[in-house]
Structure 1
Amino acid sequence: MKTRLGALLRDRQGNFAIMTALTLPFLMGVAGAGLELTRALQVKSDMQNAADAATLAAATKFRESAGEKSDEELKTEVTRFLSASEFAQELSDDDKKMLDPALAANALSDVEKKAAGVAIGTATSRFKTDKGTGFKVSTTINYQMPLNPMLEFIGAKSITLSATSTSQSSFNNGAPLSMYLVLDRSGSMAFKTDTVDKSKYSCSNYDAVNWPNPMRSTRPCYVDKITSLKTAVSFLVETLNTSDPTYKSNGNPASQLVRTSAIAYNDKASPTQGLDWGTKRSGGYVNALSATGGTDASGALSAAFEALKSSNPAEANAHKESGNESFQRIIVLMTDGEMTGNSANWSSFVDNAVRTTCARAKADDIKIYTVAFMAPDKGKSLLQACATSLDNYYAPENMEEIVAAFGDIAKKAAGNVSRLTN
């Protein structure tokens, strides 16, 4: 008996099976952990995307509703976006109740909330500044993500994931901006439109056939393009001023939010003027324009780009001194023709130069609005290419339409924005 017991103790057969049996739970746990780590990272990314989209939607609703949406309605907007997110697809049916807009979580019982694996916390605040009204919404998502059953071998059943997002928007808070108008004053801007000028009995109605030859007055008198442009810019100026809560007609500075300048061009750029607070200087500049010469926007557009480009600190410094940490940079490019320079031979060269500068400006995050006023196809093609998007391109065919176009540009420029703050 003693001999057999010693042999049993010395026997090494079956050791691997015993070791495997002892370490199997640990090995399964490690394998499960690797799989779940990848899944957890994806779920957390989905949570963050959902939180960002939800808070930004609520902030946007605040602005679009002119601040009339209640905080509870805006919190429900957060819940609505979360319920439609990819993250929501990860949840069990019971947990999805926490994201149901009809329940909005606060309609659930305390027992249901306590049992849920997901918790949503949303806080809102409104604040006043000397420039208007602001709104902030913050949302935090905590989720107990169930783990693979294999991890139960090492005592892990779930992992806590969190995501937080804050968005901010404003209403009637103005929009800090620097806008440069680049305007065509070539000879064709003296041509008539189809709008009758009832303030005059007769006048010289020029068109492509009779310009620039002297001609007798005819009737009825039609408003010419340059006058239409001046009216349009006046409307833009008025719209910017009305949308600017810091605007003071006799103030110095006239605004704490809006800086503008204008430069005209025919076959060459007119002398530049610096950007200035408010709209008075640029508006007066445009009202003094006259129409003559060819069409070459390249120099004027380059001047506007140089003034606004991000590597030029002048505008950023001016806005910071006024308390504006960020601001929009905008170019409004207008023409009624195609690029010719001082001769038709320069047409392609000038066209390409303008396209190149537009591309550089857009790459520098400068927003470009373009207005092809009664322009030929080549001019329209150029301005379509220059615009930041098709929503930023206008092709008015009469005075009423160019006035509406410049008004719309002003409204978009002065429109308040919603943004993620973290």
Structure 2
Amino acid sequence: MISSAYQKMTRRFLADTGGNFGMMTAILLPVLLGFAGAGMELANVMQVKADLQNTADSAALAAATEARLKEGALTDEQIKEIAKAFIASQMEKTLTEEEKKALEKNSPVNIGTTDDARGKTYTIQTTINYQMQLNPLLGFFGAKTLDLAATGTAVSTVNKGAPISMYLVLDRSGSMSFKTDTLNTKKTSCQNYTVDNWGSYPNLKNTSPCYVNKATSLKTAVGYLVATLNKADPTYTANGGSELVRTGASVYTHETYAAQPITWGTSSIATYVDKQIPEFPSGGTDARSSLNAAYNALKKANTVEAKEHKDKKSESFERYIVLMTDGEMTGNSSSWSSSIDQTVRNTCDTAKKDGIKIFSVAFMAPDKGKSLLQHCASSLDNYYAPENMEQIVTAFGEIARKAAGSLATLTN
């Protein structure tokens, strides 16, 4: 009987719908609140995670940049303090004192360095470990905190030398046989060619004193440029090799001559110039073919130079053309050619638009030659108008120094 009565009461209870909503609400409310809290907290967690990553990346970059700007003078501890100070400045507004201490303790900064002949490279890694307080509603699931982490890495290099590719475009026309006002103390007499006696070429009688001519002055200047580049190059080897400097050259008259393709180091152009420029050259003046060869070798569309430098671990490099003449564009004649002059100007413009920097040297040149080379130079500072041997040697030395320091010794 008792069992039967109990069963009847149970059936009546289950069949009675009165108060079901309240009971179900009481049962499900903690679960519903937990899910609601999770939904709201997910967006917050994602935002905090993104903020941590941005801070870690920025801290690493700030420390790497400062190490680069100080040119390697900072100690590892000083670099670490820069990164930690950056992290603290970005997060201190939202943290309690206890949280700040925990953040500093759990945010290591690691620094790796490599040294070689090219320079010093810093690899800086910042890690932020942060315990995030969760929405109290998630307490229904037993979750009160969430551990988040973010890591940022930055690399900077203090270079000892600047990677460059340089192409020399050199005039070896007949007027390069003309004398300068510099005495050649090694000879008592020689052929002193001028515009007035050029008709006697190549049989001009020796006269005294002997003057250094323009061709010899140019070869001396190129030798000084080579020596200056070598001295500034920490990777230079005794045989003229390099891991930073690539050079090529082409000489011109009104005819086209075999060029020296761009190669590593400077020894090839030194040998080329010595062989290709005779003591008393002859011919007209037309820089078009040589200048085109220089542009085609250095233009961005030609990826050879970029690949060569990248293979030597240089991600960026500067491209230079050194354009030199002692005259005006005449072609195979004695008269100035406006069409040749304009074509050379156009090629210079194309090269400059491509990012190639042009140095120009108007060596004892007439006005039309100076006008052309002023136009071709990338800036007034890149234009030189030497009037004697000493000045052209100085000009080529300055060009080498400017090119060697083109990246200010610093790259990211």
TM more than 0.5: yes
Residue 373 (structure 2) aligns with: 383
The DSSP-based 3-state class of the residue aligned with 1:338 is coil
Query: Is residue 215 of structure 1 aligned with residue 223 of structure 2?
Result: no
Give percent identity, aligned residues only: 54
Equivalent residue in structure 2 for 1:366, among 356, 367, 370: 356
Deviation per residue, 1:165-217 (Å, 9 max, x gap): x8956352x21111110000000000001110101111111111001413221
Give, in whole Å, the separation in 1 of the partners of 2:210 and 2:301. 48
Give, in whole Å, the separation in 1 of the partners of 2:155 and 2:197. 58
Q: CA 1:250 to 1:353, structure 2 compared with 1: closer, same or farther past 3 Å?
A: same
Give, in whole Å, the separation in 1 of the partners of 2:165 and 2:237. 17
Residues 131 and 245 in structure 1, CA contact (< 8 A), matched pair in contact too: yes
Deviation per residue, 1:243-284 (Å, 9 max, x gap): 112121237xx2111111110001123122311111111111
Let me know the Cα RMSD of the aligned residues.
3.7
Give, in whole Å, the separation in 2 of the partners of 1:211 and 1:345. 16
Give, in whole Å, the separation in 2 of the partners of 1:226 and 1:355. 24
Alignment of 1:120-135 (within 5 A): 127-134=113-120
Query: Is residue 227 of structure 1 aligned with residue 213 of structure 2?
Result: no
Give, in whole Å, the separation in 1 of the partners of 2:390 and 2:158. 31
Residues 182 and 264 in structure 1, CA contact (< 8 A), matched pair in contact too: yes
Give, in whole Å, the separation in 2 of the partners of 1:212 and 1:376. 20
Q: CA 1:401 to 1:248, structure 2 compared with 1: closer, same or farther past 3 Å?
A: same
Give, in whole Å, the separation in 1 of the partners of 2:303 and 2:349. 21
Query: Is residue 320 of structure 1 aligned with residue 310 of structure 2?
Result: yes
Query: Is residue 299 of structure 1 aligned with residue 289 of structure 2?
Result: yes
| TM-score between the two structures when normalised by the length of structure 1 | 0.63
Q: CA 1:124 to 1:71, structure 2 compared with 1: closer, same or farther past 3 Å?
A: farther
Out of 341-350 and 123-132, give the one that drifted further: 123-132
Structure 2: gaps spanning 5 or more residues: 1-57, 83-88, 90-96, 101-108, 125-151
Residues 334 and 373 in structure 1, CA contact (< 8 A), matched pair in contact too: yes
The DSSP-based 3-state class of the residue aligned with 1:370 is strand
**Could you tell me how far 1:60 is from its partner in structure 2?**
5.7
Residue 282 (structure 1) aligns with: 269
Residue 231 (structure 2) aligns with: 242
Structure 1: gaps spanning 5 or more residues: 1-47, 79-97, 99-110, 115-122, 139-163
Equivalent residue in structure 1 for 2:254, among 263, 267, 271: 267
Equivalent residue in structure 1 for 2:332, among 336, 339, 342: 342
**Could you tell me how far 1:135 is from its partner in structure 2?**
7.0
Residue 329 (structure 1) aligns with: 319
Equivalent residue in structure 2 for 1:175, among 137, 162, 176: 162
Give, in whole Å, the separation in 2 of the partners of 1:53 and 1:218. 68
Give, in whole Å, the separation in 1 of the partners of 2:324 and 2:110. 43
**Could you tell me how far 1:346 is from its partner in structure 2?**
5.9
| TM-score between the two structures when normalised by the length of structure 2 | 0.64
Q: CA 1:58 to 1:212, structure 2 compared with 1: closer, same or farther past 3 Å?
A: farther
Residue 38 (structure 2) aligns with: none
Query: Is residue 402 of structure 1 aligned with residue 392 of structure 2?
Result: yes
Q: CA 1:130 to 1:193, structure 2 compared with 1: closer, same or farther past 3 Å?
A: same
Alignment of 1:150-229 (within 5 A): 168=156, 170-172=158-160, 174-213=161-200, 214-229=203-218
Moved over 6 A (4+): 52-58, 123-126, 135-138
Equivalent residue in structure 2 for 1:393, among 366, 383, 386: 383
The DSSP-based 3-state class of the residue aligned with 2:261 is coil
Deviation per residue, 1:84-116 (Å, 9 max, x gap): xxxxxxxxxxxxxx9xxxxxxxxxxxx9xx9xx
Residue 30 (structure 1) aligns with: none
Give, in whole Å, the separation in 2 of the partners of 1:126 and 1:376. 57
Residues 169 and 416 in structure 1, CA contact (< 8 A), matched pair in contact too: no
**Could you tell me how far 1:351 is from its partner in structure 2?**
0.6
